[in-house]
Chains A and B, each alone.
Chain A
């Protein structure tokens, strides 16, 4: 056991890896070796810290100094200044969006201060490829506890009493699901982890798998003990190569230590896990389609009941839980259901991970207690909207979700409140929109996604979403009629009621919720032929303000269709007939004389 005076944690999640954290790490290792510091300072690869827009992230312990956007050319300064002279490199420290000062310690950064990490507790703290680091943070002690001290029914009771609900979106009580499966008769049962994260903007499952894969393995083994299963499958999409690799490493290490396999803890309990790769079809995240896909067939949903807990994989009782749901299980077992139930709201216990994206300063991954307000998430943790723009809406729940308007910023986020306002928790994607986003266009974007990803098995989803998309496109092109709104609503209701699976049933949600809170934007498109946010190209006209135009002619030179004419030093004019609304003139004008309306 080597003692190191300092540990440098370099994020090796997908976000930071794509901004070259691996190059930074290699450069750091090289320079530490050159300076003879490699026996003093240990470089550790970790999972996602959550602060993805500031990657690559580096945290130096014991001080907890938080460096962001570290490039390979910064490594030399960090080694010389911080590691040799003990002086943190000020310019690489985190800078709060609206403050002058830079923050030295990780724990003092606003982004982290309001968070409560349960599912993400180990992400960014341990090396996910070293099982001992997981064990050092009490890993596999929950499995040891259930095998030594608890009956399967006691495990189920603890999960039930904790109030844990499915984090994949449905919000079904996890303990109740386990109980169904445990009571189902069958010579063989299965535990399946749904890691087919497909919502646009959501990446919490990927981060847990990359940053703390053992938590999922441990939870699956616990679930296996609770329901009487000895085989687990993790269904993960092939687009998550780092997650797949870390899972493979984790499974291998757990098998080597005998934490998976035969006779675990000499208690006569066998459990093993295999990985199944998905090809990244959105519908395969739906549980019955996922099971069909594992069985080797085309991933299409089937009607429920029978529920998987009764007849799942190969007709055997099966529980399917999402990655984040599983990640909550070991801490609940270790700390007790009372601890978990003390966090959150009356009907939604614990914490929830959200992926913040869109028009927000701090893009990334956060975990907060259920019941935290949207305002806290957006302004305190997210650091507000960039460029001083106005908040318009937050889209939650991915393509199945809806929009939360500004007047509901103080809503306490939990399963039931979100459903009550026509949105949903979903997997936890949270996309922030400002005044420059057109809500009709947003609805069209999500419909395009579901239409594209519809598996086509049932007509309401296959044909219905197609028709809805056509109407939405028509409206954004300025060809909408008042009947279109009625037709949209009728279609939405029919698709909701008649679709086979949850994806079809929720596909109209983005349209319904934008119609509910932003109907005036639809009406502006239809009656006034205007796009208030200035997004829908067909409804915009570009104009040159004569009083601001200096007659430099830059716009005319950049216009691809020669739609702009004029004399030097006199105001130029755009010919609306020739204009293709590409926006090149607006972008080039140095005097803000070009406007779109």
Chain B
């Protein structure tokens, strides 16, 4: 180890790996994985979420699953929760528009209104 900078660089890189385990007020992307969701392609959506986060190297974002929220006709459903804000629920999500949701909502903090199921702020 030659310098503090070197140690910091290792830390930054490694922090991303273990951020899943830290309760640091991270944003959460929840994919509904009830029977209805899965049969409508929720699995592919989930995979796309992980791929996108991976490509962009986004850390401190939790990806979780939940059961059917009751809006079966809107499946696959993805909910994005940014700490301190109301959760936004997206309906009829496809692997393609998941990428846009991540870029616009998570990175630029602008919810994609056109696919929202709930609109109350």
A residues with CB within 8 A of B: 1-7, 9, 39-40, 42, 61-64, 84-87, 107, 125-126, 132-133, 135-138, 140-141, 144, 148, 257-259, 264-266
Q: Decide if B119 is an interface residue (CB 8 Å cutoff).
A: no
Q: Which of B2, B26, B47, B62 contacts A258 (CB 8 A)?
A: B2
Residues on A with C-beta less than 8 A from B67 are 85-87
Q: How far is the CA of A148 from the CA of B7 in the complex (A)?
A: 13
- The answer to whether B58 touches A136 (Cβ under 8 A) is no
- The answer to whether A264 touches B1 (Cβ under 8 A) is yes
What is the CB-to-nearest-CB distance from A377 to chain B, in angstroms, rounded to a whole number? Answer: 26
- The answer to whether B2 touches A266 (Cβ under 8 A) is yes
Across the two chains, which residue of chain A brings its CB closest to B26? A62
Q: How far is the CA of A85 from the CA of B13 in the complex (A)?
A: 30
Q: How far is the CA of A272 from the CA of B121 in the complex (A)?
A: 58
Q: Decide if B85 is an interface residue (CB 8 Å cutoff).
A: no
Across the two chains, which residue of chain B brings its CB closest to A136? B14
What is the CB-to-nearest-CB distance from B38 to chain A, in angstroms, rounded to a whole number? Answer: 8
Q: Which of A4, A64, A135 contacts B11 (CB 8 A)?
A: A135
Given contacts A3-B54, A62-B26, A62-B62, contact A141 B17 (CB under 8 A): no
Residues on A with C-beta less than 8 A from B4 are 144, 148, 265
| Interface residue ranges of B1-51 to A (CB < 8 Å) | 1-4, 7, 10-11, 13-18, 20-21, 23, 26, 28, 31, 33-34, 38, 46-47, 49-50
- The answer to whether B13 touches A132 (Cβ under 8 A) is yes
- The answer to whether A62 touches B20 (Cβ under 8 A) is yes
Given contacts A6-B63, A9-B21, A86-B64, contact A265 B15 (CB under 8 A): no
- The answer to whether A137 touches B64 (Cβ under 8 A) is no
Q: How far is the CA of A138 from the CA of B18 in the complex (A)?
A: 12
5 contacts between A and B (CB under 8 A): A2-B17, A6-B64, A85-B33, A86-B64, A86-B67
Given contacts A62-B20, A86-B64, contact A5 B1 (CB under 8 A): no
- The answer to whether A257 touches B54 (Cβ under 8 A) is no
Q: How far is the CA of A224 from the CA of B46 in the complex (A)?
A: 50
Given contacts A3-B53, A266-B2, contact A135 B64 (CB under 8 A): no
Q: How far is the CA of A409 from the CA of B73 in the complex (A)?
A: 60
Q: How far is the CA of A85 from the CA of B43 in the complex (A)?
A: 10
Q: How far is the CA of A35 from the CA of B61 in the complex (A)?
A: 24
What is the CB-to-nearest-CB distance from A250 to chain B, in angstroms, rounded to a whole number? Answer: 15
A1, A4, A9, A62 pick with most chain B CB within 10 angstroms: A62
Residues on B with C-beta less than 8 A from A148 are 4
Q: How far is the CA of A300 from the CA of B49 in the complex (A)?
A: 63
Q: How far is the CA of A380 from the CA of B38 in the complex (A)?
A: 43
Q: How far is the CA of A5 from the CA of B26 in the complex (A)?
A: 13
Given contacts A86-B64, A141-B7, A265-B2, contact A136 B18 (CB under 8 A): yes
